[in-house]
């Protein structure tokens, strides 16, 4: 974080400063900010956030022992550390992030990119960060820090030497993206797609589209909206942008795209295509598996182009990316039995894309195996969407369909109803049962996809299988 005095921080947070030891209001703090006491280092600021499972106030002492020199609390605690008492720790975190970013931006160098979409946010964030790191100091979220806590923590990592801040914005509900993006007012907004991920919490896909459009509304006047021309709901957001004097750059595979992909090819070693941008045509060969990641790459190339990075330079950086993120189309195992662990999250769109990738990368004499769990937060459409994925798996000729957990039973029944029987499809109660089944069932030449929503936890099953067959 940038250097601020204790008095300045207290004023920004609208809090009461309680000094400890030799600290004075003029004492300067410039350490990292976090809500995890285990992440503290010498000079850090610990934000004691109450949670559903535990309360951060219980860990102030541990944070101090680890090096914290300031605690932001909702009530005073018995610890030898200066404290700022605030009404709400999460609100205080947002207030501090807003002010820190505003001060750095006021120096004239910092440019901010905000990314949202039902799928692909983290991959696109990682792609764009890889590109921008080659031309200037770049701050981007760790993992999927995209909520009311993670996003401000990312923002607070900026310093006077930061040139680019890449923010990932998830939508907990209507208004959440507007709130988070409003903390920084991005120069560039990137909207990837509108799908059924979390649609149950929004009341349907049209409400989801409105939530994603909040990022375009929050974009700085005179800024740029980078929009997916292949998604009609996203491309329609250009009208919002144009009404606010925001430039529009399109990416996709259609003629309307400014950054376009053609001739896609998917193999077990990666994904390739031809990129057309700025009147030039050039090849892109991603090491990351899956045709759906080409769209994420296009978004990153387009956003980087707005920031002055030529497409050729962006492509050079993208081709160095070996893994989008842990548990996202992550190759594991060995050439003998290849495990693709893509179980960090799942929506109908990402589930379908992963299954298509599995079907595309199989070679002669190899067998496709899909280990599938439930997709969460789909609301009233959950049953229908699980049916659709079961049908798709059969129609893609996935040779073994292993469905795990009671919440995914409809997926199994749909597969059986579509013609996957005689042990081609099985339903198992939990991860342990699936592991016991698969360690005997899998054989040389198998290509195995493990896919579920994060809450189901099949990513850990994928890890176990990857280690077993490494």
Answer for the pair 67, 125: CB distance below 8 angstroms, yes or no. Answer: no
Other CB atoms within a 10 A radius of the CB of residue 359 amount to 20
Annotated binding-site residue? 123: yes
- Please tell me whether residue 86 adopts helix, strand or coil conformation: coil
Q: Give the separation between CA 262 and CA 254, rounded to whole angstroms.
A: 9
State the alpha helices, DSSP H only, in 169-247. 176-182, 205-218, 232-235, 238-243
SS3 content of the chain, % helix, strand, coil (to 5): 40, 20, 40
Annotated binding-site residue? 121: yes
Element (H, E) at 71: strand 70-73
Answer for the pair 264, 271: CB distance below 8 angstroms, yes or no. Answer: yes
- Please tell me whether residue 310 adopts helix, strand or coil conformation: coil
Q: Give the separation between CA 71 and CA 35, rounded to whole angstroms.
A: 10
Q: Give the separation between CA 390 and CA 394, rounded to whole angstroms.
A: 7
Annotated binding-site residue? 27: no
Answer for the pair 258, 247: CB distance below 8 angstroms, yes or no. Answer: no
Annotated binding-site residue? 379: no
Annotated binding site for ATP: 117-123
Annotated binding site: 117-123
């Amino acid at each position: 974080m940038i250097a601020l005095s204790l008095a300045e921080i207290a004023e920004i947070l609208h809090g009461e400063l309680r000094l400890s030891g030799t600290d004075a209001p003029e004492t300067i703090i410039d350490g990292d900010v976090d809500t995890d006491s285990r992440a503290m280092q010498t000079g850090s600021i610990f934000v004691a956030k109450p949670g559903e499972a535990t309360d951060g106030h219980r860990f102030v002492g541990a944070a101090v022992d680890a090096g914290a020199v300031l605690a932001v609390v909702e009530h005073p605690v018995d610890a030898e550390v200066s404290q700022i008492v605030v009404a709400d720790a999460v609100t205080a975190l947002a207030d501090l992030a807003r002010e820190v970013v505003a001060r750095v931006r006021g120096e004239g160098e910092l440019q901010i990119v905000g990314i949202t979409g039902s799928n692909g946010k983290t991959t696109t964030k990682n792609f764009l960060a890889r590109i921008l790191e080659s031309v200037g100091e770049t701050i981007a979220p760790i993992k999927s820090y995209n909520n009311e806590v993670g996003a401000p923590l990312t923002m607070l990592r900026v310093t006077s030497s930061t040139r680019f801040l890449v923010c990932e914005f998830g939508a907990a509900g209507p208004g959440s993206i507007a709130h988070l993006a409003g903390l920084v007012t991005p120069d560039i907004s990137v909207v990837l797609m509108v799908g059924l991920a979390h649609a149950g919490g929004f009341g349907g896909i049209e409400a989801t589209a409105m939530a994603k459009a909040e990022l375009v509304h929050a974009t700085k006047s005179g800024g740029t909206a980078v929009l997916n021309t292949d998604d009609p709901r996203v491309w329609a957001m250009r009208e919002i942008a144009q009404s606010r004097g925001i430039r529009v750059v399109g990416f996709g595979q259609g003629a309307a795209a400014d950054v376009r992909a053609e001739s896609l090819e998917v193999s077990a070693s990666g994904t390739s295509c031809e990129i057309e941008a700025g009147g030039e045509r050039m090849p892109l060969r991603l090491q990351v598996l899956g045709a759906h990641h080409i769209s994420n790459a296009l978004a990153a190339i387009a956003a980087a182009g707005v920031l002055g990075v030529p497409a050729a330079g962006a492509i050079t950086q993208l081709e160095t990316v070996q893994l989008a993120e842990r548990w996202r189309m992550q190759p594991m195992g060995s050439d003998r039995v290849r495990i693709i662990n893509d179980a960090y999250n799942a929506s109908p769109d990402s589930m379908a894309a992963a299954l298509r990738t599995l079907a595309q990368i199989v070679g002669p004499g190899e067998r496709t195996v899909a280990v599938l769990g439930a997709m969460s937060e789909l609301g009233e459409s959950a049953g229908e969407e699980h049916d659709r994925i079961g049908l798709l798996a059969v129609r893609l000729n996935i040779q073994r369909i292993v469905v795990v957990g009671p919440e995914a039973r409809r997926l199994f029944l749909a597969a059986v109803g579509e013609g996957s029987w005689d042990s081609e499809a099985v339903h198992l109660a939990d991860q342990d049962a699936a592991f016991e089944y698969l360690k005997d069932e899998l054989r040389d030449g198998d290509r195995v996809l493990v896919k579920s929503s994060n809450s189901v936890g099949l990513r850990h099953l994928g890890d176990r299988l990857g280690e077993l067959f490494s």
